[in-house]
């Protein structure tokens, strides 16, 4: 068994966003499972350090593919003295800074070239790319609320018809750029139900290994009393199956959910309620279509 571990190919998960998904709770989940990840040979370097190492190498390459020694240099710099073999790297800027995500006619128009350049640095590893999607209406509303690049956002809304704004186009561009890299996707709206599964797949943990922080996505969605009651309930009545777990979560969301969090208001200047409905309907269609595509794993609730 030990020999098998020694020759195991190093794994790298590159989580690329998108913006306004896993907001805060992904990092808290990493912190909650740090000891468990270390025990399974997974290292999560600091975000600033990771960005610096990769940006410096890409700048030095100036568009050229890396040689083996340069790939090794990146791995050594990211692993440091951790003693680990595998890496989990997360930064939504790899898909694009938010201002560049709305500078074109599709969301994240440059995602293919940006992610492919980073992916090339890990060609000797078993690479997985992951991303969470979110209702484009919520994405656009949050973008305006963020105060980032208001002029670009206004131009984007003026030039792009709601009916043509599809995540499928963004994902297709990514897949064409890195066709041989498996892609793991989930919907932000499903995260409260499936977060334990998402963490296991992101960190490559065996299904039987329990994870900590499984209800972190629910903290902003439930009133404080409900969140505390949920923690107590799951300890005293541990669900035996994934379906049972999801039913418990749904019941608590129904009883203790914050209405403004579960059904956030969409305020997109220039787009009316009908446009929001079109965006939402197409989002659901896109998720269904992506679930059927080869090379893509879409994590969904079982209930």
What mean pLDDT comes out for the span 205-232? Answer: 96
What pLDDT is attached to residue 233?
98
> Mind listing the pLDDT tens digit for each residue in 236-264?
999 999 999 999 999 999 999 999 999 99
Q: With bands split at pLDDT 50, 70 and 90, how would you rate the model's confidence at 207? A: confident
Q: Summarize pLDDT for 97-110 with one digit per residue, the tens.
A: 999 999 999 999 99
Q: Does residue 78 have a pLDDT over 50?
A: yes
Determine contact, residues 86/95, Cβ cutoff 8 Å: no
CATH of range 11-211+273-299; options 3.30.70, 3.40.50, 3.30.530, 1.10.3430: 3.40.50
CA 98/CA 168 separation, integer angstroms: 18
Query: Strand pairing partners for 88?
Result: 13
Q: What is the pLDDT of residues 23-66, one digit of tens each?
A: 899 999 999 999 999 999 999 999 999 999 999 999 999 999 99
pLDDT, residue 5, reads 47
Residue-range domain boundaries for the chain: 11-211+273-299
Strands 296-299 and 183-187: parallel
Report pLDDT for 7.
61
Q: Is 60 exceeded by the pLDDT of residue 4?
A: no
Q: Is the pLDDT of residue 157 over 60?
A: yes
Mean pLDDT of 121-130: 97
Residue 191 has a pLDDT of 98
What is the Cα–Cα distance from 203 to 84, expressed in whole angstroms? Answer: 13
- Average pLDDT (120-127) is 96
CB-count burial class (<10 Å; 0-12, 13-18, 19+) for 127: buried
Question: 303 pLDDT exceeds 90?
Answer: no
In percent, how much of the chain has pLDDT > 70? Answer: 98
3-state SS record for 12-71: EEEECCCCCCCCCHHHHHHHHCHHHHHHCCEECCCHHHHHHHHHHHHHHHCCCCCCHHHH
Q: Which two tokens stand for residue 252?
A: 């608590």
Query: Which helix H or strand E contains 89, and what residues bound it?
Result: strand 86-90
Q: Return the H-helix or E-strand segment holding 128.
A: strand 126-133
CA 47, CA 45: separation in Å to the nearest integer? Answer: 6
Read off the pLDDT of each residue in 114-123 and give the average, rounded to a whole number.
97
For 274-293, write each residue's pLDDT tens digit: 999 999 999 999 999 999 99
Measured CA angle at 27 (ends 43, 99), to 5 deg: 110
Question: What integer pLDDT is reported at residue 45 of this predicted model?
Answer: 97
Closest to 37 measured CA to CA, from 76, 79, 6, 95: 79
Instruction: Give start and end residues of each alpha helix (H) in the chain.
Output: 2-6, 25-32, 34-39, 47-61, 68-79, 98-101, 111-119, 136-146, 150-159, 167-177, 191-203, 224-236, 242-256, 259-262, 273-290
Residue 133, classed as helix, strand or coil, is strand
Map residue 143 onto helix, strand or coil: helix
pLDDT digits 0-9 by tens, 80-99: 999 999 999 999 999 999 99
Residue linked to tokens 């009916």: 163
Paired tokens of 130: 């992951």
**pTM given for the model:** 0.94
Residue 166 pLDDT greater than 80, yes or no? yes
Q: How long is the chain?
A: 303
């Amino acid at each position: 068994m030990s020999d098998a571990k020694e020759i195991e190919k190093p794994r790298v998960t590159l989580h690329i966003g998108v913006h306004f998904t896993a907001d805060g709770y992904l990092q808290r989940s990493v912190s909650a499972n740090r000891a468990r990840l270390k025990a399974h040979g997974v290292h999560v370097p600091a975000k600033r350090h990771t960005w610096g190492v990769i940006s410096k190498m890409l700048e030095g390459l100036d568009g050229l593919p890396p040689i083996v020694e340069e790939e090794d240099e990146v791995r050594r710099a990211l692993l440091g003295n951790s003693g680990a073999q595998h890496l989990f790297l997360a930064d939504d800027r790899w898909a694009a800074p938010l201002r560049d995500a709305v500078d074109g006619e599709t969301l994240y128009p440059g995602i293919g070239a940006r992610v492919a350049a980073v992916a090339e640095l890990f060609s000797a590893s078993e690479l997985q790319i992951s991303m969470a999607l979110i209702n484009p209406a919520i994405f656009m509303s949050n973008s305006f609320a963020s105060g980032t690049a208001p002029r670009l956002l206004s131009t984007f809304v003026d030039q792009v018809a709601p009916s043509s704004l599809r995540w499928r186009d963004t994902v297709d561009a990514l897949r064409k750029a890195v066709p041989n890299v498996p892609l793991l996707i989930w919907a932000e709206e499903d995260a409260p139900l499936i977060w334990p599964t998402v963490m296991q797949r992101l960190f490559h943990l065996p299904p039987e290994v329990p994870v900590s922080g499984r209800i972190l996505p629910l903290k902003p969605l439930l009133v404080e009393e409900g969140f505390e009651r949920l923690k107590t309930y799951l300890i005293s009545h541990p669900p035996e199956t994934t379906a049972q777990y999801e039913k418990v979560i749904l019941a608590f969301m129904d009883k203790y959910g914050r209405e403004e969090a579960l059904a956030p208001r969409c305020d997109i200047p220039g787009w009316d309620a009908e446009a929001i409905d079109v965006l939402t309907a197409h989002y659901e269609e896109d998720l269904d279509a992506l679930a059927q595509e080869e090379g893509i794993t879409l994590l969904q609730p079982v209930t």
